[in-house]
Chain A
């Protein structure tokens, strides 16, 4: 599997970032709703700590991914109407903004409430803002609404990918799938076409 992206598919590194982060983000979101309903207990405390650690991992992965993206090539874009290309870029941009702001908003809420922030029980991270009981409830809502917004953008992202795969029958999704490979060679050289 290629380390760097090729015209017909994303690199192993890019795919790994994409799918690991997808799993962590969606998983941590579902996890958050489950843990919020737990009765006050040590288990609940530890589950919240785990949720925070996963969120911080996503934040760290995002910056590594951004660095990689700046260094890596990108597959050629499949042909599509201009508005669709613009829409795809807007959705990707929003996803990037949300991937950063979701953990950050959680971290800011955590700081305002005065909770400690410990990464997988290994080390502590500082508060981003001073403790402020007047705004911590609001900040928790911001954190939650950002998740709902992310879900909305994800519907567009996944919907677009499925539309390409099922209706356009092109390589947009396939080239990001873990073991996927483009059906067509891009660019096709005239001599090779049967």
Chain B
């Protein structure tokens, strides 16, 4: 019975650690956006539909985790032509790849002491690592989580054929999210 006792002990020790990263769901007023550059001018977009399961404790980053799912067809950028083109096969190809998925693999602190989430983004059927800067502030009845990062659209094959031309559509895309987190 020694093994059983040991595993029970290990479980008892691990339990408070795992539980110390609080679980959150996405509350109203949350936004998930992106900024690109077209013909030298920045444009801002956002996703109308996304969901996230957030486990986060600033004091226990090892137990923290982000799991975000985005409906790419809901991207809106304030321009009818662009919004019509984005879900199409030249860009997100939402019919084939309706969802983008981001899962953290771990958290680190950069030189300035800011928290950085390291994770894998699956977009347009391609998975690549993407790092996000994390700002977490506990708030009344939950918390406010802000993330920012950059990715290269061509890493994910967003913009195929002639739309690869980065002299018209910049490769670099800024990603930003502001989530009002509610306890799960």
Contacts and interface: CB of A to CB of B under 8 A. Distances in A.
Interface of A: 40-43, 45-46, 49, 114-118, 121, 123-124
B162 A118 contact: no
B85 to A, nearest CB: 7
The listed residue with most B CB atoms (<10 A of its CB), out of A40, A46, A49, A116, is: A116
A45 B167 CA distance: 12
Given A46-B168, A121-B167, A116 B78 contact: no
B172 to A, nearest CB: 16
Given A114-B78, A114-B79, A121-B167, A43 B40 contact: no
A78 B40 CA distance: 50
Nearest to B164: A42
Contacts of B162: 41-43
B168 A123 contact: no
Interface of B: 38-41, 78-79, 81, 85, 161-163, 165, 167-168
Contacts, number: 34
A124 B42 CA distance: 11
Given A40-B81, A40-B85, A43-B162, A124 B41 contact: yes
A137 B41 CA distance: 22
Contacts of B165: 42, 46
Nearest to B81: A40
Contact of A121 (B40, B78, B81, B161): B40
A32 B42 CA distance: 26
Given A43-B162, A46-B168, A118 B39 contact: yes
